[in-house]
Chains A and B, each alone.
Chain A
Amino acid sequence: MTRACESHDTIKNNYLIMKRLILPGVLAISLYACQKTVHLHLDNAAPQIVIQGEVTDDTTGPYTVRVNRSVPFYAENSFPAVSGASIKISDNEGHVDSLVETAPGIYTTQGLKGKAGNTYALSVLSQDTLYTAVSTMPQAVKLDSISFNHEKIFGDKSIYAIPNFQDPPGISNYYQFVEYQNDKLLNKDIFVFDDRLSDGKYISRTLRNDSSYLQPYDWLEVRMYCIDKPVFDYFDQLDQSGGRGGNNTASPANPTSNISNGALGYFSAHTVRSIKLQVY
C-alpha cells in the first residue's frame, strides 16, 4: 500500500521490512483502515500471445517453450494454449533445434545442449506472425552456501534464506533466485538483482519471501540463475512496475519483453546452480 522506497536496489532487499513497518504505521495512524473487494468495470483487451522460453546450462535438457494467451481480468485463471506454432532455437555455433509440441502449448527441444557464453535465438511462428528473441547465457557464478536469517517482525517469526556467493569483479552480473519449498515452487516472489552496487563483493543477500514462509525442517532448494540484462530488466520491471498488481508505482506498465512483435513473456538463456538443504 504505502511503500516509502521503491526501485532501489539496495533498499529493495529490505523492502519487505519497510512494508511491514510503514503499513502498520499508517494503519496505526489511520485507526480505522480497512480493505474490501470491489468490482470494477475493466476493459477486455484482445487476447495477446504470451511466450516463455528457457535454455540452461543443465545439459540433461530438454528445454521448454510455453505459448498461451492472455484473458480478461474477470475470467478464470486458465490461459488458452497456443498450438500448432512452429518454434526453433538456434545458437551461435550453428545448431538449430526445431521444437516439438509435447502437450498443448508446450514445446520441447530435441537434443539442444545449452552452454555458458553462447547466444541463443528463438523464433516462434504462430498464425502467420513471427516472434523472435535473443538471449546470451552468461558465465556461471558458483553458489557457495545457503544460510538462514531469523527475524521477528511485529510478532511474526520469519525465516529467510540467504544465498552466499562471490560476485566476479569488473563485469556486470545479473542474478535470479528461485526457491522450492518441499519440492514445490515458490513462484509468488521474484528475486532478481544486479551487481550495480555490489561489483566484486562477496554477496549475502536475504531472499525476503512476501507470501510463503519457511518452517524449520522444511526441505528448501535454492536455484541461482545467471541471467542477461534484458531478462533481468524484464523480471525487475515485472516486480517493480506493478505487473503483479501492487500499486507501488503511480504508472504501472507491462515489463519490456525481449521478444519482438508485441509478444508478452520472455526468453532466457541462463545458468543454474542449486543447493538443497533443510531449513534451520
Chain B
Amino acid sequence: MRLNSVFSLCVCLFPMFVSAQARHTVSGTIRDKSSGETLIGASIVFLETPNVSAISNSYGFYSISAIPGSYTMVVSFSGYGNDTINVHLQKDTSISITLENAAKQLQEAVVTAGRNNNVTKPLMGVQKLSINEIKDLPVLFGEKDILKTLQLLPGVQSAGDGNSGFFVRGGNTDQNLILLDEATVYNPSHLLGFFSTFNSDAIKDVTLYKGATPAEYGGRLSSVLDVKMNDGNNKEYHASGGIGLISSRLNIEGPLEKDKSSFIVSARRTYADVFLKLSKDSNTNQNSLYFYDINAKANYRLGDKDHIYFSGYFGKDKLGFGNTFGIDYGNATGTLRWNHIFSSRMFSNTSLIYSKYDYDVKINSGNNNIGITSFIKDLHFKEDLQYYANANNKINFGLDVINHTTSPGVISASETSSFNPLTLQSKHALESAAYVSHDLTVSSAISINYGLRAGAFMVMGPGDFYTYDKEGNVLDTATYSSGKVVKSYFNLEPRFSMNYKLTTSSSIKLAYTRTTQNLHLLSNSTSANPTDVWIPSSNNVKPEIADQVSAGYYRNFKDNQYEFSSEVYYRNMQNQIDYKNGAQLIANENVESQIVFGKGRAYGWELFVKKKYGKLNGWISYTLSRTERQFTEINSGRYFPANQDRTHNLSVVGIYKINKKWTLSADFTYYSGNAVTWPSGKYEVNGQIAFLYTERNAYRMPSYNRLDIGATLQGKKTKKFDSNWNFSIYNLYGRENPYSITFEQDPDDPSKTRALQYALFRWVPSITYNFKF
C-alpha cells in the first residue's frame, strides 16, 4: 500500500520536473497599506495568461512563475481595492505589494469581491470568515463571536442556544481541530459555552475545512478550524476597544521598529459577577463568575528572507461559590515561528508550539478540603515547506511531531478530610506525521490537489497499562518504564480533491479524505463541561478513522457578486466512542473500561448562496443531513440517530448599509430538534417515581427558530478617532426555544408526572460602544 502510493506520487510529480521552458518567478509579501498586516489568501493573476495565478499563503507570501515577457499583474483581496503592477519578467523578481482597505478608500465602487477562487480551486468544503464580515452581525450580549457566526454556515450546527460549541457534518465537538496560530485549543469556550475563547479583536483570518482537509492538517475527524491572529500595526500606534453590558475589550498595537516589527495585545474581561457583588447577601457577593483572556503577538523581520513571530494566548474562567466551592479553568498557548524564504519558489515555516488546558477544582466543606486538578499539555514541532515549482505545480510538504502529556486527575486532600489524596497516572504519547501534497493544474479546465499524510501515534511509558474483560474488570496489568513504546498505530491518510471547470463561472468538484483521531474527549453531559477529560488512544482505545467523499457544484453570478454552491457528502466513521450505563468518567484509573466502541455514518446536502458586496449583502445556507451511530450495546445494535442529528438547518443573514452612518443587520435561524432520549413510562422505587427508558435517542426535541436584529451607528470619523455604537436584540420575537426538557412528579398534583421545558434567551438586548484611535 505505502510503496504503491509513493510510486504513484512519483509518477504524478514527474511531469513538472521536465517542463522545458525556462520560467522566472515574481515573489513577495502582500500587506495592508495602512497597518502593514499581511493579507492571507489574496489573489495574484497575470492578465495576459489568466491561467497563471497564485494565492498568498498564511504569511502573505506569494510566488508566481511565467516565461519571460511583459505582464500586467493584478492583485486583489476581498474588501480591498485592486492593485495593478506592470512586470517585465526577465529574471526572478521580488515585489512587495500593499493594498488599501476599501473602508479607507474614497470611492466605494472599486471594491470587488476578489477572484472566483471558489470556482477555480480544487479545495472544497471550505468556509472563510473575515472579521470585517462579522462585525455588523447581531450577537448575543453584543460580543462578536467567530464560533457563533460559523454556525450560520452550511454543514455547521450550534451545540445549543447561545452556545459556541459546534458540530461539523455530523462530527462531535471534540472532532474539530481548533487552532489558534497553529496551537491546539482544547477547550474553545468560556462560561459553560456561552462565549468562545476567540477575542475577535485579535483575529485576522478564520478558515474552516469541513470536507477536503489539506494534508498539512491532521488529528481530528470532522473539521479543522484554523484561526490566525493579527500581527499588529507596524506603522503607527493604535488603541481600540469596546465597552459592552457584559464584557469589555481593549486592544493595543504598534510598531516596535517601523515597517520591521510590531506587537499587538488584546485583552477581554466579563463582569457578570459585578451584579453578584451588588448583592447585600454576604454569601452571594462572594461568588464569582467571570472570565478574562489575553492575546499577544510580536513579530520581527530579519532582513528580506527571515521573519520571526511569537504569539500567545492565555485565558481563565473563574466560577466560585463563596469559599465553599470553586473551579478555575483555561487554555494557554504559545507559538514561536520562523519564516524563511529559501528562494523565490521555496517558502519555509518552522514552528515551536506549546498548548495547555487545565482545570482546578477546590472544595471546602466542613472537614473536607479537597482539590482536583487535571491538564493536557502539548509540545509541538512543526515544519512546513512550500515549493512553487511553476505556474501549474505547487508542492507542500512537511512534518509534525507532538509530545502529548495528560494528567487525568490529581486529588489533594487535607489529613482531616474524608478523602485520600490520589494521583492518576499521567499519560504520554508521541504523535508524528509527515505529509506531502501537490497542487496540479492539468489543463485550463482541470486542476487537482492530492496528497498523503502518514501518521504514527505512539503510546509511551511510563505507566501501568491494563486489559479488561467484558464486565470491565482488570484482566492483566503490564508495566512499562519511561521511554518505552506501549503501542503504536500507523495510519495513512490519503487526501484528494479535483476541480472541473464547466465555464469561467461554474465548476464541479470531487473529493475524498481520510482523517484519523488519537485524542478523545470523554464527555457525557448535555452542556460544555470544563471537567471533561481528553484521553489518548491506548492499548484499549483505537484511533478513530473517518472516510469522507464529497461532490459539489459551484456557480458564480454577476461578476462574482453572487456565489452559489451545492455540496453533498457521505462520511463513514470507525472506532467511535460511547459509554457504559453509569460510567464513572472522572478520577477513574480504569476509565478505559467504561467505554464502548461502535461505528458512525453521516451524510447530507448543503446549499449556500452568498451576496458578497453591494449595499445589501449576506447569505442563505441550508443543510439537510443525517448522522447515525451503531453500537452493539445500544438499541440492540441498530443504527440510531446521534445526539447532534438534526434534519434541517437553515440560516439567513442580511446586512444592509443604509448610508455612511447606519448599517442594519439581521439573521434568522431554524433547525430541527436533536435526537433525545425520553421516558416511555414510569415506575416506583422506594415510593419515588423513576422513569422508564426503552430506546436511545428515539425522540426529537421541538424545532428551534430565532430572529436577531442589529444596527451599527458609525460615529464621526476623523484621522485620529473612529467610533461606533452597536445595538442588537437576540431572539427578537422572544420565542421560548427549548434548551432542555426534564421530567418530574408534578408538585401541584402529586398523582401526576409532567415534562418541564427550560428556555434560556428571550429578547436579549445589548449595546456596545467600540472605539479606535
Contacts and interface: CB of A to CB of B under 8 A. Distances in A.
Interface in B339-382: 361, 363, 365-368, 370, 372
B420 A201 contact: yes
A171 interface: no
A1 B418 CA distance: 28
Interface string B726-761: 000000001010111111111000111111111111
B319 interface: yes
Contacts of B367: 204
B681 A38 contact: no
Nearest to A9: B587
B697 to A, nearest CB: 8
A92 interface: no
A204 to B, nearest CB: 5
Nearest to B682: A73
B582 A40 contact: no
B158 to A, nearest CB: 15
A243 interface: yes
Contacts of A247: 526, 740-742
A73 B643 CA distance: 23
A71 interface: yes
B692 interface: yes
Most buried by A among B324, B579, B680, B734: B680
Contacts of A103: none
Contacts of B191: 25, 29
A43 interface: yes
Given A6-B529, A201-B420, A251-B643, A30 B685 contact: no
Contact of A245 (B529, B587, B679): B679
Query: Size range of the interface on B?
Result: 35 or more
Nearest to A31: B764
B427 to A, nearest CB: 19
A37 B759 contact: no
B684 A50 contact: yes
B682 A70 contact: yes
A4 interface: yes
Contact of A155 (B272, B284, B529, B677): B284
B587 A4 contact: no
A241 to B, nearest CB: 6
Given A200-B420, A248-B526, A9 B584 contact: yes
A200 B686 CA distance: 30
Interface in A216-275: 233, 236-238, 240-256, 264-266
Contacts of B141: 29
Chain A at the B interface: mostly helix, strand, loop or mixed? Answer: loop
Interface residues of A, number: 97
B586 interface: yes
B585 interface: yes
A212 to B, nearest CB: 12
A13 B319 contact: no
B321 A17 contact: yes
A201 B418 contact: yes
Interface of B: 141, 162, 191-192, 194, 246, 272, 275-276, 281-284, 287, 289, 319-321, 324-325, 327, 361, 363, 365-368, 370, 372, 411, 417-420, 422, 524-527, 529-531, 578-579, 581-587, 643, 677-694, 696-699, 734, 736, 738-746, 750-764
19 contacts: A4-B529, A4-B530, A8-B584, A10-B587, A18-B325, A25-B319, A29-B246, A30-B760, A32-B761, A50-B685, A200-B420, A237-B582, A242-B691, A248-B525, A248-B526, A251-B578, A253-B581, A264-B683, A265-B685
Interface of A: 1-11, 13-14, 17-18, 20-22, 25-26, 28-40, 42-45, 47-48, 50, 52, 68-79, 149, 151-155, 162, 185, 187-188, 197-206, 233, 236-238, 240-256, 264-266
Given A11-B372, A21-B319, A71-B682, 13 more contacts: A1-B742, A4-B192, A7-B583, A7-B586, A25-B289, A31-B761, A68-B683, A149-B365, A247-B740, A247-B741, A252-B677, A264-B690, A266-B685
